[in-house]
Amino acid sequence: MSGSRSILFRLSIVLLFITAISTDYAAPDLQISPDIGNISDFRTDRLAFHSIQLIDKEGKPLLDRNLNKDTSESTLLIIERGQLTLLKDGYDDPVQVREKEKEYLSKIYKFTRMRELEQEYSKLPESERSYSISKTASTNPHDKPNPAPAPVQTSEPEQKNKEFDLLVKYDDELLKLYAAEKASFAEFSRTERIYGKDSPKTTSLRTRYEELKAKTQERKRFLLGFLNNSSPDSNPYPGDRRDQNFYSNASNGAPDFYLHSTTPREVDGLMRGEEEVGKKYGQLYRAAVDKLIDSQIDKLYYYLWNRDMTNTRIKVERYLKGKKVTVITGDSTVYTMIDKEGDGITESFFVDSPGLRFSWGRDIPNIISISNCTEEQILTKIKALSDDVSSGRIPKKVEKLDLTVPEEQILIDLKPLLKNL
């Protein structure tokens, strides 16, 4: 008894240890971008920048991503005098995203239904099938000719049988056509009994019924033809959900979305489109992003230059094919640089100040969050950081830092451009 208790105790300790590890190392969803509904503090003037690129050189989305969030978007956040401005680059309209997703879901639904129809149809006895399903696709029209359409006559709707029931079960279009045909026949028959065969109303309804019947038969012939000559080309697979990119607008350095709020959680100004937003706020967007990144790199260099005096710590660890460099400065600001390919290029750069109440997403760096950067304008600034810091090189000597929060000085420098917000 004591032995079993000992084993259970050890297992519980192992499970607690595994749970602690998974909790401590749970990765934040870096695709969460600043929005009016997720910003925690509007009281302090500040700048923040978020950028995520989860697409390859061909524009295809990477597999390691949140499928429900944008794969390529950059956001500059400005809070000045309690007023919020968001400038986004690579913004995708949620309405258009939902339309693309609905289109894909419709394709995958039809693909699945037709595959199920094939499987069920193959189980029908030969005597109850119009065709024997070919094991290989036939391209010769003389092998299995489709039956010629019979002349439409004013007769009752097709009587159901096992084959027709199967077609109606798996094809929504045939189901709708057949239901409309039956309803039209009922109305036509009732009118014929009341007004006679040759009345204008009866003639009109007869024509309508015959048209619907012809469409039903046409759809039935199409389905039977598909079953007889089924192939991957006749029912193409639309691709896995992970391979779809519903967020097609990629970041290119020019903002295409503008939001302004004078009161937290309420939108007072909204603009979409690169032509309009980029023309009006492009200069502000680029200048603010450049100044914010430069100021944080200068701050990093300052603390590295005065490392012993400021109690700045550096940690270098392996990450995928490359490395991850973490610097915790004397004021507890955390700098993280990642070179995931090991090619000497820093693709990701994060600056986080845990002491700030300000944030827009759990565990997301709240000053700068740049992931998998592909924009040359930004890469020029950050690409050598991980190598420089890990090797102890400091390309720029920063002996004096004017402000603990350099964003305040940037806002002062940007005053001429901020007046149009």
d(CA 85, CA 74): 14
For residue 234, what pLDDT is reported?
A: 84
Q: What is the pLDDT along the chain (421 residues), one digit of tens a residue?
A: 444 444 443 434 334 333 333 333 346 789 999 999 999 988 888 999 999 999 877 777 887 888 889 999 999 999 998 899 999 999 999 999 999 999 999 999 999 999 999 999 999 988 888 764 444 334 344 444 444 444 445 678 888 789 999 999 999 999 999 999 999 999 999 999 999 988 999 999 999 999 999 999 999 999 999 998 877 788 899 999 988 889 989 999 999 999 999 988 889 999 999 999 999 999 999 999 999 999 999 999 999 998 888 899 999 999 999 999 999 998 899 999 999 999 999 999 999 999 888 999 888 999 999 999 989 999 999 999 999 999 999 998 888 876 555 677 899 889 999 888 8
d(CA 235, CA 118): 11
CA of residue 304 relative to chain centroid, distance: 38
For residue 27, what pLDDT is reported?
A: 65
For residue 82, what pLDDT is reported?
A: 87
Is residue 360 within 8 Å of 38, Cβ to Cβ? yes
Sequence length of the chain is: 421
Residue of 53, 26, 29 whose CA lies nearest to 370? 53
**Prediction pTM value:** 0.78
For residue 16, what pLDDT is reported?
A: 36
Q: What is residue 16's three-state secondary structure? A: helix
Bin 73: left if φ > 0, else alpha if -120 < ψ < 50, else beta.
Answer: beta
d(CA 216, CA 152): 11
Q: What is the DSSP track for 380-403?
A: HHHTTHHHHHHHT--SS-----S-
The DSSP code for 127 is G
Tokens of 401: 């830092």
d(CA 26, CA 79): 30
The DSSP code for 206 is H
d(CA 362, CA 352): 12
Tokens of 273: 């489109």
Tokens of 328: 């915790």
The residue with tokens 């007869």 is 206
Is residue 418 within 8 Å of 78, Cβ to Cβ? yes
**Segments making up each domain of the chain, as ranges:** 37-92+258-420, 101-126+158-238
Cβ burial, residue 65 (10 Å; 0-12/13-18/19+) = buried
d(CA 316, CA 327): 9
d(CA 179, CA 343): 64
Q: Which residues contact 419 (CB under 8 A, 6 or more apart)?
A: none
